[in-house]
Amino acid sequence: MRCSFARGTVACLALWAAVGSGPVEPRAAAQARFDVDAYRWAQGRIIDTVYVHGNTRVKTFAVLREMESQPGHPLDAVAVDRDQRYLGDLSPFATVAIHVEPVGEDRCVLSVVVKERPTLLLKFIYPVLDYDINTERILYGLKWFDRNFRRRLENFSLEFLRDNRENDSASAQWSTAWIGWRHVGAGARLSYFNRGEPASETTIIKQTRAAANVSIPLTERRIAFSQIISGVAIADNHVGLSDADFEREELLSPSLGFRYDGRDGTVKPRRGGYFYVNVAGNRVLNGEGSTYYRVDNDIRYFRALDATTVLGVRSQAAIQIGEFPDYIRFGIGGPGTIRGYERSDFRSTQRWVQSLELRMMPWPKRLYKLPILGTTDFQFGVVAFIDTGIGWTHEAEFNLDNFHSGFGFGLRLFSPIQDVIRVDVGFTPQGDIRPYFTTGSNF
């Protein structure tokens, strides 16, 4: 079992304790869908102008470029519904509503009304404290994650972590999905890791790594877009058993991939699919070994069963090809793979994991006016899940007997705190029960 106290715990408890005035504007907060029937008269009308109201900390053009509905195009109710849900999933906004007004006989105007979340919650430098009861490992440090960097909906994060076994890590990362009005993505990441405790088997003792990527659009649509993703990384690794017993390795890792995203939201999608495949080559510039490759694949599908229930399915695979080093192992088990097992209970050189989640949102989003912070939003959800997967190193190990499964249920708190806080309880066929507390979306 692992207990975590980070932005999702300390801040959450403080916020709920601070709530004293009760919910405000519950009806407006609950509006998550565009009212297609009410605006049926506008279907097919040419959009004359799109206005944005209520944004003070997010630039207007950063909102407009995320929308499928653009001036000069016919209004499509499905696209407007997608725009409202997609914008509502962006971190800076507590609520988003889109209204349509007629202009003449065949044109219309869209008004996008947003309510922004408190800046303090989105730019807060928060402590990280993670305790694993089974290994008695304590991880602590600081993290800063700005999800509206430069007021352009860019991401920028800094992280400094250390544990009670003298293992240190640090990272800095920036990314954007747009350059101007072009759906060209770019990102960069610097990271450092130093293992202070001796290892029982060959592993990375120290690593300094720099990576960058660029994504090129293949389509102009926002509602279902495709991209070619290219990247390159260079790493300086110390591989061995300890700081006094290692060999140096320099890796150059170019990559090329493809991504399709047809979801109507990133945090709470109700419909659509997602497909990602990436091939990375790893060439040894200095040290032992030869070039090897890694293929990653991620497939997701979402279908709304009714107004409050969504079925989500995911398949995720990581395959290595060539003479890859022995120290690279993928873990199976834990909140990101198969719930019900300890993190990385099973380790192998290849991995394939599948998940099915039934997600229910029986309670509408509520707005609360908090002292000092201002108005913010909270929404609860519940899930039931089934996970299964297999890890293998040799071809003969890929068989039904080596598949592992877990099932269970969980709670979700959607808020400005890491977008979503997840509490899951996983069960295994052998009768094991394990709880997990994590932040951020899984899929």
Stretch among 64-68, 222-226, 261-265 having the lowest mean pLDDT: 222-226
- Alpha carbon distance, N-terminus to C-terminus of the chain: 22
pLDDT at 417: 72
Q: Please give the helix or strand (H or E) that residue 124 lies within, else none.
A: none
Query: In this model, does residue 410 exceed pLDDT 70?
Result: yes
Largest CA distance in the chain: 79
Query: In this model, does residue 1 exceed pLDDT 70?
Result: no
Cβ atoms of residues 421 and 436 within 8 Å: no
Write out pLDDT tens, residues 17-47.
444 445 555 444 445 567 777 888 999 999 9
Average pLDDT estimate for 193-214 = 92
Return phi, psi of residue 30, to 5°.
Answer: -75, -15
Q: Please give the helix or strand (H or E) that residue 406 lies within, else none.
A: strand 404-414
pLDDT at 22: 53
CA atoms of 212 and 255, how far apart (whole Å): 10
Q: Which of 410, 422, 412 is nearest to 378 (CA)?
A: 412
Q: Count of CB atoms within 10 A of residue 164's CB?
A: 12
Query: In this model, does residue 405 exceed pLDDT 50?
Result: yes
Domain boundaries, the chain: 1-27+337-443
Average pLDDT estimate for 400-407 = 95
Q: Which of 204, 178, 207, 203 is nearest to 190 (CA)?
A: 207
244's CB contacts (< 8 A; 6+ apart) are none
Give the chain's mean pLDDT: 89
